[in-house]
Structure 1
Amino acid sequence: MAMSLRRSRAFLFIVLWLGCAMGGHAAAAQAGAGAWLHRHVLEQGHPGAHLVVATADAAPVDLAVGSADTERRHPLRGDAIYRIYSMTKPVVSAAVLRLIGEGHGGLDDAVALHLPELAALRVLDRDGLRAPRRPPTLRHLLTHTAGFPVVPGQALLRREAVRLEDSDSLATYVARAARVPLAHDPGTVFAYDGMATEILGRLVEVWSGQPLGRYLDATFFEPLGMADTGFVVPEAGRGRVVELTCLRDGALVRADQAHARDPGIGLRPYASAAGGLYSTAHDYLAFARMLLAGGRHGDRQYLPRPLAEAMFRDQLAAMGLDRPHVDAGAGRGFGLGVSVLLDPPAMGRLGAPGQVGWSGAASTYFVIDPVRGRIGLLLLQHLPCGGRERLPSVALPFYNFVQEVEFP
């Protein structure tokens, strides 16, 4: 307890020092961020976190605090590397939109037009297997409305039997996915899951003629300066990978996954489009800034502006899905690869409708507010150990803090 108190006092001293060393709004924003991190991250038991709140060209808040490990031996670095899990999905969705913009296909193309191995997908209902009323499209994959099974039932049991996650490549994954029945007709139910995005990852490979990782490197990561983002961390960078934590019997411990024991290795045997990337706060900020700017960064247009704008628009209402049409509540919709905030008060959120973003399983979050022109990123490394026991979520306080920061 005494050691914890000393750490708290030392941290608060640093926050006050920052306020004195910097000037004006920047100092206030940085000091406010430090106080926020102390209250919502360190005091809640998390070893550390990196928080960024930025505009298209400035970052009044950029602060990494705490430790990178459960033993609190290694201070968290500003270039620390995180497993971002499902924050991989917006990256792969953007890759699909770019390739659509290049003429490889259309949003409302049937998936089987480009991946013929999925031509025989059937819906499993109470009467057995039947043809879907409409074929799943690329838009359905991007919006998690293709009909793949998520909730317990016979369709999910058949999905589990094919062992998708043991696939050695995205090609193998899609071949196995062809044996999984749909639980719903495409375009009728929002059911968030990774299966649709893994299929999109394979689509990127087919259209580009390159492995997914190589395409993302050449198209986004290298030109955007995202040097520490990829499906595997090179040996030289593995010392910067933050320890993955969970709660076990009330104690914070290192998680048991192979990539927790051996930081930097692939999260799956294949390049998982649904959740396989490692990244840093500054790398992902570059990607988010490109999205905020309508698909543009510097003098380069990464996404056609109309598709970048469509990415941020709720797609579910146009499909005729009644609200609440996502399982997170009435206040959210879904765009092309990102969540769209429709009713902030219904979600306990500040700010205007239209905020977009997503999160990752290990407590990583990003949000883009196109109305106010700001971006928020919060990266931790904490997930359940297998049960429901975990430290308090920082999601809602984070989203609201992004709105509260005063920019110069």
Structure 2
Amino acid sequence: MARRRVTAWLLLAALAVPAVAQDERALPVATPASQGVSAERLQKLDRFMQTSTSPAGYLGGVVLVARNGRIVEQGVFGHQDLARAEPMQADAIFRLYSMTKPIASVAVLALLEDGKLSLDDPLSRFLPEFADIRVADGGSVDAPRLRKPARPVTLRHLLTHTAGFAAGLDGDAVASALRERADPHDASDLRDYAARAARLPLAADPGTRFGYEGTNTELLARVVEVASGQHFGDFLKQRILSPLRMRDTGFEVPQAQRHRVVDITTMGDDGRLRIADGPSARTPGARLNAYESGAGGLYSTAADYARFCQMLLGGGSLDGASILGRKTVELMLGNHLAGILDPPVNQYSGAEGFGLGGYVVLDPVRRGQPGSVGQFGWSGAASTNFMIDPKEQLLAILLLQHLPRPERTDDLPRIGRNVQALVYQALLP
């Protein structure tokens, strides 16, 4: 059977689907109807995922939906290996890539609550090497024309991707080429990453545009180290992961658990899926970077990430663990582009702003799919996706492991928005 539901409410299907023990660390389970969700309509989501993980589609995936802090749907689909021999498991471990960024943003906000930083602090307060950063204003890679920025880079700029780093936008060619030459991703640790990045020019003045780029969050991770006096990974574990009991989340997977890591694929030139390049693809569970990447370095499970999401929906607390204060979470989920850009939207949608670490829906109608004003979420490069909806007290997580090749018209489609639409259509009146 390609699809196995692991929620406890499917009593009628008990003869067809083996029962799966509830993880003591997972959110509690409830019947969909008790939380205002239609079990019948959730079957549309099941069918969609079955089709999406057919032999012509993704290897496999996990979907988790919770409302009011209770899981109403957790489906496992397909397989977790390229040979399609190992069925997907509910506790499978995935590379989060950019779904790491909201966790890194919470780390920064925890330090804000400690009084160790403020959003409008200049980056140079913590990383003095950025005091003399310049903006590339024409010229060539070998002879760039540089000038002072109109204003300093602040932590708010980093959190909202408005710092001006090269992000593949118009006018970024010189700054992008210089970054490729310096290759900060080859850094040995976050200190080294920051030192390399400080030698590179910005592509635009801070606060003048939204340009999504991982450099912003890598530098925030280094700020966490400087402000806290701890390694970034140690800070995450102490202040976020351990209190939330996210025991399967980290920058590498213990050897004894690496059999749970899902193969990561990409589309080969022959039109067939193959294992992607990179150390974590060749050795599943190995670090994605030598340094502890706040922009994209974490592994996790659906159950673990659901606890992080539910903490945000719960105003910063979960099961007695207080990670952030309620007002700090409200600050995180607000549209910070409103105070920076006009119009206050991100580069991907005129109906979305950006909070501290993820998009914020401003207009579901203009966005063209079911949702709520204030819905918050983000995705990862390997086709992972999540959203939380404070108005509906709803969260949805989709975990897949495929790196798209945009140049290939026959690549697998991105399905995150489809899954979210199928979640919303299941809400009862």
TM-score, normalised on structure 1?
A: 0.92
Residues 1:132 and 2:149 aligned together: yes
Hey, what's the Cα distance between the residues in 2 that align with 1:386 and 1:197? 24
> Which residue is 1:114 aligned to?
126
Hey, what's the Cα distance between the residues in 2 that align with 1:118 and 1:49? 41
Deviation string, structure 1 residues 254-276 (Cα, Å, up to 9, x no partner): 21222111100000111111000
Contact between 1:33 and 1:63, CA under 8 Å: does it hold in 2? no
- After TM superposition, give the deviation of residue 215 of structure 1 in Å: 1.0
The letter of the residue matching 1:362 is A
The letter of the residue matching 1:391 is L
Hey, what's the Cα distance between the residues in 2 that align with 1:357 and 1:395? 11
Hey, what's the Cα distance between the residues in 2 that align with 1:185 and 1:266? 33
> Which residue is 2:359 aligned to?
339
Hey, what's the Cα distance between the residues in 1 that align with 2:4 and 2:322? 44
Among candidates 298, 314, 339, match of residue 277 of structure 1? 298
CA spacing shift, 1:346–1:44, aligned 2, 3 Å? farther
Residues 1:302 and 2:323 aligned together: yes
Residues 1:202 and 2:202 aligned together: no
Q: 1:137-176 maps to which residues of 2 (within 5 A)?
A: 137-151=154-168, 152-176=172-196
The letter of the residue matching 2:193 is Y
> Which residue is 1:75 aligned to?
87
TM-score, normalised on structure 2?
A: 0.88
Contact between 1:341 and 1:355, CA under 8 Å: does it hold in 2? yes
- After TM superposition, give the deviation of residue 345 of structure 1 in Å: 2.4
The letter of the residue matching 1:39 is T
Q: Which stretch has the larger CA shift, 117-126 or 95-104?
A: 117-126
- After TM superposition, give the deviation of residue 320 of structure 1 in Å: 3.3
Contact between 2:39 and 2:426, CA under 8 Å: does it hold in 1? no
> Which residue is 1:21 aligned to?
13
Contact between 1:202 and 1:212, CA under 8 Å: does it hold in 2? yes
Residues 1:312 and 2:333 aligned together: yes
Q: Which stretch has the larger CA shift, 172-181 or 289-298?
A: 289-298
The letter of the residue matching 1:20 is L
Among candidates 374, 393, 396, match of residue 417 of structure 2? 396
Task: Return the structure number with greater helix share.
Answer: 1
Hey, what's the Cα distance between the residues in 1 that align with 2:68 and 2:309? 9
- SS of the residue corresponding to residue 270 of structure 1 reads coil
Contact between 2:5 and 2:73, CA under 8 Å: does it hold in 1? no
- After TM superposition, give the deviation of residue 321 of structure 1 in Å: 2.6
- What is the alpha-carbon root mean square deviation over aligned residues? 2.2
Deviation string, structure 1 residues 47-73 (Cα, Å, up to 9, x no partner): 211001102421110111111012110
The letter of the residue matching 2:128 is P
Contact between 1:19 and 1:30, CA under 8 Å: does it hold in 2? no
Hey, what's the Cα distance between the residues in 1 that align with 2:320 and 2:333? 22
> Which residue is 1:236 aligned to?
256
Contact between 2:53 and 2:77, CA under 8 Å: does it hold in 1? no
- After TM superposition, give the deviation of residue 38 of structure 1 in Å: 1.4
> Which residue is 1:4 aligned to?
none
The letter of the residue matching 2:165 is F
Q: 1:247-258 maps to which residues of 2 (within 5 A)?
A: 247-248=267-268, 249-258=270-279
Contact between 2:4 and 2:75, CA under 8 Å: does it hold in 1? no
Q: Which stretch has the larger CA shift, 90-99 or 377-386?
A: 377-386
CA spacing shift, 1:49–1:197, aligned 2, 3 Å? same
Q: 1:355-394 maps to which residues of 2 (within 5 A)?
A: 355-384=375-404, 387-388=407-408, 390-394=411-415
- After TM superposition, give the deviation of residue 36 of structure 1 in Å: 2.9
- After TM superposition, give the deviation of residue 44 of structure 1 in Å: 5.3
Deviation string, structure 1 residues 257-304 (Cα, Å, up to 9, x no partner): 221111000001111110000000000000000111121112232112
- After TM superposition, give the deviation of residue 359 of structure 1 in Å: 0.5
Q: How many residues align?
A: 397
Hey, what's the Cα distance between the residues in 2 that align with 1:326 and 1:57? 29
Contact between 2:79 and 2:85, CA under 8 Å: does it hold in 1? yes
Contact between 2:377 and 2:388, CA under 8 Å: does it hold in 1? yes
Gaps in structure 1 of 5+ consecutive residues: 1-9
> Which residue is 1:327 aligned to?
347
CA spacing shift, 1:180–1:72, aligned 2, 3 Å? same
Residues 1:226 and 2:243 aligned together: no
Among candidates 370, 373, 376, match of residue 353 of structure 1? 373
Gaps in structure 2 of 5+ consecutive residues: 15-30, 140-144
Contact between 2:4 and 2:77, CA under 8 Å: does it hold in 1? no
- After TM superposition, give the deviation of residue 12 of structure 1 in Å: 7.5
Residues 1:36 and 2:57 aligned together: no
Contact between 2:3 and 2:77, CA under 8 Å: does it hold in 1? no
